[in-house]
Structure 1
Amino acid sequence: MTTQTLTQLRQLKLGGMAAALQNQLEHAGTYDDLAFMDRLNLLLDHENLTRQSRKQERLVRQARFKLHATLQDIDYQHPRGIKAADIAALAQGDWIKRAQNLLITGPCGSGKTYLACALGHNACLHDYSVRYYRLSRLLLALTQAKADGSYHKQLALLAKIDLLVIDDWGLEPLTAAHRNDLMEIMDDRHGHRSTLMISQLPTDQWYASIGDNTLADAILDRLMHNAHRLTLKGESMRKILGRLTDDEHLR
């Protein structure tokens, strides 16, 4: 009877309940004094936790982050212009709920991508869908989608992502087609979904980097008017960590 029950639970895709029931059976003395409803609630709680964990793992996997980063591992020791209180506020996710944007700027190696991936990972833990792209690869994917006829489908998929993370903004010049692609993306997401933009360029140089005054106005208006901003400063974290590693080897 026990084996049959466990098999049926797994067939019904209730693996969390099956694992919890197996645990109760193996530690019967611990649960004998509990009422039936109490034991059933424990099984349901474990099933819910299992499903939530699987969902979060799936969201993180689908996000395709460049770096494995978490908010807990952010380094506040070296002065970079970021405050733990500001990150804690962003970690609450209210800006994503309100479809607001986040702009992270700073010099090369200052930890922009790590910070963005950490915030993206945190968003996954809050059940938001996230996707990370380098701008050049996003634009290449859209160019290929035009060739194979899936362009509008790809735009629709991008529009549904709760948090779209775009790295290396302003690193390469944009063609007219690229500007149009960005306009489509920003227009679809404006007021509906959040975008996190990462750039070495300060925001006052973004206008010139787009290369077309009319589209620059339209794109940046949709991106910036409701955006939170994090400006990182200081020496490259790669150099700092490299020196620390060298020092350890010299000891």
Structure 2
Amino acid sequence: MLSSPPTEPLSTDEVIGMLIDREWSARENKRLDRLLKDARVPNGVSLEELSCEAGRGVERSFARTLGACQWVRAKQNVIVVGATGAGKSFLGAALAQAACRQGFRALCIRTPRLLEQLAVARAAGTYAQALARIAKMSVLVLDDFLLSPMTEIEGRDLLEVLEDRYDHSSTVITSQLPTKTWHQAIGEATMADAICDRLVHNAHVVTLRGGSMRKKKAIAPEVTETKN
């Protein structure tokens, strides 16, 4: 303000108000940056960038509804299913980004990696602390759910995570398998019942369709001219 050309003078209240607005905005931006970094949300991912073309299985109005994060406040889950490359991981990360913008703590992690980390924590004697850290997340995005068969120990670990979160926080699942096949994919009947019961019954299910988004973004092959 001191270095700007002189204009209509501002009152003391107006100057203080501008300073407060700038400080508040700076603190909110830092807080959001910290939440996004802790959540491991990739750069450039947001619901605004989500492809909502006809036939994709998700409409722009529904995306806006998810972006308002009422499902997080209601402690509900979101399940995203679809073929490889359909955009499941993008949508999951975008939901975490939307939650961070609303002030919620989130975490994006591949399911196999989470189970591996819990196995390491058990061996190191920090299993309870690891579960407690996960439970504190308002939104947990588990990517690549049931990408490979789970062992009995991994199933028990996952059940512990979901038990801590049920009716307390929200979980986002992305999977290539439709929910009706989860019971069989998990294997052990009692374990499958417990896991599915905590995930499916209070979840919004989104089925993504269409071709691979990765193929659409692929670099076109170079065409070399040949001389006759």
* TM-score (normalised: structure 1): 0.84
Gaps of 5+ in 2: none
Gaps of 5+ in 1: 1-23
Indicate how the Cα distance of structure 1 residues 107 and 39 shifts in structure 2: closer, same or farther if over 3 A, else same. same
Deviates more, 1:58-67 or 1:140-149: 58-67
Deviates more, 1:119-128 or 1:55-64: 119-128
TM-superposed deviation, 1:78: 6.0
Native 8 Å contact 2:145 2:173 kept in 1:
yes
Letter in 1 for 2:126: S
**Counterpart-to-counterpart distance in 2, 1:39 and 1:50:** 17
Letter in 1 for 2:136: K
Native 8 Å contact 1:67 1:114 kept in 2:
no
Give the equivalent residue in structure 1 for 2:171. 195
Indicate how the Cα distance of structure 1 residues 247 and 71 shifts in structure 2: closer, same or farther if over 3 A, else same. farther
Paired residues, number: 224
Which of the pair has more CA radius of gyration?
1
By percentage of residues, which structure has more helix? 1
Indicate how the Cα distance of structure 1 residues 75 and 215 shifts in structure 2: closer, same or farther if over 3 A, else same. same
Indicate how the Cα distance of structure 1 residues 248 and 33 shifts in structure 2: closer, same or farther if over 3 A, else same. farther
Give the equivalent residue in structure 2 for 1:206. 182
Give the equivalent residue in structure 1 for 2:89. 113
Within the alignment, does 1:239 sit opposite 2:206 as a pair?
A: no
Give the equivalent residue in structure 2 for 1:27. 4
Give the equivalent residue in structure 2 for 1:169. 145
Within the alignment, does 1:179 sit opposite 2:155 as a pair?
A: yes
Which of residues 131, 144, 150 is equivalent to 2:107? 131
Native 8 Å contact 2:76 2:169 kept in 1:
yes
RMSD: 1.9
Letter in 1 for 2:185: S
**Counterpart-to-counterpart distance in 1, 2:76 and 2:222:** 43
Native 8 Å contact 2:179 2:200 kept in 1:
no
SS at match of 2:6: helix
Letter in 2 for 1:25: L
Q: Where in structure 2 are the equivalents of 1:63-78 lying within 5 Å?
A: 63-65=39-41, 68-77=44-53
Within the alignment, does 1:100 sit opposite 2:73 as a pair?
A: no
| Misfit runs of 4+, over 6 Å | 247-250
Within the alignment, does 1:229 sit opposite 2:205 as a pair?
A: yes
Native 8 Å contact 1:67 1:117 kept in 2:
no
SS at match of 1:161: coil
TM-superposed deviation, 1:64: 1.2
TM-superposed deviation, 1:239: 2.3
What are the superposed Cα offsets for residues 152-198 of structure 1, whole Å, 9 maximum, x if unpaired? 00100100101000011111111111111111111100011100000
